[in-house]
Amino acid sequence: MTSTSPYGSWPSPITPAMLAGGQVSYWGITADGDDLVWGEFRPSEAGRVALVQRTVDGPRDLLPDFSARTLAHEYGGVSFAMSAGKMVAASLGDQRLHRLDGDAPVPITPDPPTPRGWRYADTVFLGDDVIAVREDHTGDGEAVAAIVRVAADGSVEPEVLIQGHDFYAAPTPSPDGAQLAWIAWNHPNMPWDHTELWVADLTGDGVENARVLPTDGEAFVQPAWSPDGSLHVVTDRTGWWNIHRVEGDLLVNLCDAQREFGDPAWLFGFRTYGFLGDGTLVALSAEKGVWSLGTVTDGTFNDFGLPGRASFSGWMAIGDDRVWVAMGGPALPTSILEVTADGHVEVVATSTSVDVPPTAVSTPRAIEFPTSDDTTSHAFFYPPTSATHAGPEGSLPPLLVMSHGGPTSQTQASFNLGIQFWTTRGFAVADVNYRGSTGFGREYRNSLQGRWGDVDVVDCVRAAEYLAGEGLVDRDHMAIRGGSAGGYITLCAMTFHDTFAAGASYCGVADIQALMATTHKFESRYDESLIGPMPEAAQLAHDRSPIHFADRISAPLLVVQGAEDPIVTPDQAEVMVDAMRVNGVPHAYLLMEGEDHFLAKSETVVTTREAELSFYGQLFGFEPAGEISPVKIEGR
């Protein structure tokens, strides 16, 4: 029997506590023969990246108190590597590289003169040494990047192999150890705008004969060597991130298709392809934001057809006759899969311990909708779904529009407790891949250039209006939420548009110029592609900063901010809140002490999700089910 209750008030099998402790994010995979280790980003442990090893008895933590989390580029990424029974990883506490072959980690890089002053990422073994990207924060100015060689036993000081560019990523030795390939780029580019592919000869004294591949303004990512010593790289010179083989100064496209075989390098260590021992090229590729795993042969992508798997978290490891990938699907949580060359699949680990009845899982459908400039944008639409409840006849559900961060990132059709938390309660969700998102080719990704705070915001607004026009959601009860760049979209939508009846911003950018003045090196010139070169684009940056127009906000807004956020500082949130207080706009403000940009602590997740649910309940006229602490809405 199905009970009738107002949308938003349905009892859900997913509690805020489950969001905090019932799901992990994978943070890299590495393999050494049959030995497999991966990282788990755990909100229940204050954002610790735990190293987990596969054993015959199941997964086990390697070091219970160790967090393998690098802060290079602030966002970090993979900082651990394994080879021939040896393993190294960077520690969150001191950012030094440590050897992990005993009961306790042993540092192999020097103690920096300033806390966390030397940060290591993209580590890879080369014999008895480790090659890594190092970010040096010990000076007075901007952090200095280099590629260094570190003795795995810590017996000698790290040796700088390569320096001079603003940024480095993906140092990749050839199979015989004689050559090293890497990616480099300079301000004001981001790694998805324009990068360079370099290769050099490796010697005992360093590198020699460094040379760069001729480029035409493309974005190279992920160099890799095949077993026969041929260098490969992913580049978007065709308009799509395709895999190419390097032949001298020429590139040979191995699968000329409108598919993305790459991902924007927001984090170190992303991997979407590699070679088995016999040279078989195994790759992940996305078509309209939906990912598949398969092989590439004779110019064709051959999909393994993994049942129910359509999303990919960025992590892949290659063995001699199998690969390991982190993939999920609309009704399947992201899991680490072991896939053999003939397509046999084994689930090694699963990201969530929460058991949601299949009849309560909202399955998304991809939608395309018209937007500005006579173009089309993309989203995944999740209808409200419950095994036990339905909305009153003749009524429509409230809508949550989700705007992902980045902004050059993407949302995928993956089972996500954070989305199902809302749909099981009676919300419809539109998860928008606005213009600028990855997964739809370079032209779509670049369509945000110079138009940040414009086309991305319009796409989220048009998604809501499209769904309301289709009669799928309640036009009067539509809200928008997002974090970081998604929070910026939320603030812009609430400031410059009147489509939404409520919004929730998590560490959202309010002042573009202040962001660029205070943010870290990696993003310090990002505004030049998103807005335009300064000072010429200063007026445009002003006009697209909600902080200068906060008096225009008329609909209620929930603002959540990390007190120790180094990327979007709390003063931006506080100016917005002060303006709403002066203008009598209903609002709630949660300043989370001890939190940075990721808002990763379990208690933070519980507090903020309960507050957001209570916020919508008070505004939209429903009583949330369960024990939910109400949030105080000022000015209401």
Looking at residue 288, its pLDDT comes to 87
Looking at residue 187, its pLDDT comes to 96
Looking at residue 47, its pLDDT comes to 83
Element spanning 363, H or E: none
Residues facing residue 591 across a β-bridge: 561
What is the tens place of the pLDDT at every residue in 183-197?
Answer: 999 999 999 999 999
Looking at residue 392, its pLDDT comes to 97
Looking at residue 161, its pLDDT comes to 98
Looking at residue 52, its pLDDT comes to 97
What's the rounded Cα separation, in Å, for the pair 510 and 504?
13
What's the rounded Cα separation, in Å, for the pair 156 and 161?
14
What's the rounded Cα separation, in Å, for the pair 636 and 633?
6
| Residues in CB range of 577: below 8 A, 6 or more apart | 559, 587, 589
Q: Is the pLDDT of residue 540 over 90?
A: yes
- The DSSP 8-state label assigned to residue 539 in this structure reads H
At 492, the pLDDT band (50, 70, 90 cuts) reads very high
Q: Is the pLDDT of residue 1 over 80?
A: no
Least confident of 261-270, 303-312, 506-515, 594-603: 594-603
Distances in Å between the alpha carbon of 206 and those of 86, 149, 154, 334?
A: 23, 9, 18, 41
Q: Is the pLDDT of residue 282 over 80?
A: yes
Looking at residue 216, its pLDDT comes to 84
What is the tens place of the pLDDT at every residue in 52-111?
Answer: 999 988 899 999 899 999 999 999 999 999 999 999 999 999 999 999 988 899 999 999
At 559, the pLDDT band (50, 70, 90 cuts) reads very high
| Residues in CB range of 346: below 8 A, 6 or more apart | 337, 338, 339
Give the per-residue SS3 of 118-134: EEEEEEEEECCEEEEEE
Do 244 and 250 form a contact (C-beta atoms < 8 A)? no
Looking at residue 22, its pLDDT comes to 79
At 342, the pLDDT band (50, 70, 90 cuts) reads confident
> If 0-12 CB within 10 Å is exposed, 13-18 middle and 19+ buried, where does residue 458 land?
buried
Looking at residue 566, its pLDDT comes to 85
